[in-house]
Every structure is written in structure tokens, then in C-alpha cells.
Amino acid sequence: MPTEEIPSERLDNLAREAVVTVFDSMVSETVSWKSRACLIENGSSDMLGSLPIADGLYAIVVSWVGDVNGKVMLVLPKAAAEAFALKLFDLPSLDWLEGDSEEALQDTLGELGNMLAGLVKGGLTKWYPRLALTTPKVLKNRRMKVDTATMSFRRQYLFEGFGSELLIDFCCE
């Protein structure tokens, strides 16, 4: 079944449900949906520019392969990523962690990526029953490269949480 046949309302609902569920279940943080952009279908512009990323960002990327190939990427401004980790660990500062706090932050974000991708995969299996997930990649101050020429769709969803805007990006070939 071609990717275009997934109802757009289902992708919108899947994005909202996955992000809201993952943040609520992991750290009891309320995250609200703000808007979406269809980068291929409607020629919308990339929503990354609306995020407060002057101090840096983290992008968590998980790919899926099988009946369809694609990626999901969650982009968090540095402050939001740190706020997530602090809430998860119930700590006042990442300095309280033993060892390398940057490594702990990236491991924590990898777990966030695992949970988010699992929810997305679960939602996609109605259309694509044979999907496998890759290990999450946590990128600091950069995000995944997307060749839109090979994509059948690319949608971005903007959320608000941790006092900041967050971005989820879905891409499928």
C-alpha cells in the first residue's frame, strides 16, 4: 500500500497521541499540540525556525524499515531536553549525576526516542504490518538530513511543553 493512502487525519492523530503519551507517561509533563506543516504536499516551510534553539538543540532520530521506510525525529531545544532529563531523574541539576552528565542526557533522550518510535510504529502497523525500528540516534546541535526528492511525504508537528516549543518530523519514502 503506498504511503499516500495513510489518511492524513490518522498521521495527525498519531503524532499528537505519541508525543502527548510519551511525555505524560515518562515524566507527567503536559505537552500540547500547536500546528502542523506538510513539507512536500503543500510546500510549507520547515518549522524548525520557530524553535528557540539559539543555545543548542537535540534531535532524536529513529528510522523504520520494512513495508515502508521512514524516520521520525523529535527536536528539543537544549533547555527542554535538560528539563526532561531532570524531571525523569527527579534531580535539581544534571551535575548531581555521577559520571558524564552529557552522556546521561543523551542516554535519556535515546529512551525517549525508543518510546516515541514504538508508539509511532504501533500506529503505522495497521497500514504496514512488517516494520522494524533502528536504534535511536541522538544528535547534538544538528538534525537528520532529509532528501525530500526521495520522500513521498514529510510532515512536521509543533508542540509546546517544558516552557518551549518541540518539533516532531515524520518522513517516508
Concatenated DSSP letters for 136-170?
PEEEES------GGG-SEEEEEEEEETTEEEEEEE
Q: What is the pLDDT of residue 58?
A: 95
Alpha-carbon distance 166 to 31, whole Å?
Answer: 9
pTM exceeds 0.85 for this model: yes
Alpha-carbon distance 153 to 173, whole Å?
Answer: 7
Q: What is the pLDDT of residue 81?
A: 94
pLDDT above 70: percentage of residues in the chain? 93
Q: 4 pLDDT band (50/70/90 cuts)? A: very low
Q: Does the pLDDT at position 2 exceed 50?
A: no
Alpha-carbon distance 139 to 58, whole Å?
Answer: 6
Tell me the average pLDDT across 124-151: 85
Q: What is the pLDDT of residue 138?
A: 94
Least confident among 8-22, 52-66, 127-141: 8-22
The answer to whether 108 and 26 are in contact (CB under 8 A) is: no
In order of their start, the domains of the chain are: 3-172 (3.40.1550.10)
Q: pLDDT (tens digit, 9 = 90+) per residue, 34-93?
A: 988 877 666 667 788 788 888 999 999 998 888 888 888 999 999 999 999 989 988 888
DSSP assignment of the chain equals --GGGS-HHHHHHHHHHHHHHHHHHHH----EEEEEEETTTS-PPPGGGGS--TT-EEEEEEEEEESS-EEEEEEEEHHHHHHHHHHHHT-S-GGGSSS-HHHHHHHHHHHHHHHHHHHHHHHHTTT-S-EEEPPPEEEES------GGG-SEEEEEEEEETTEEEEEEEEE-
Q: Does the pLDDT at position 148 exceed 90?
A: no
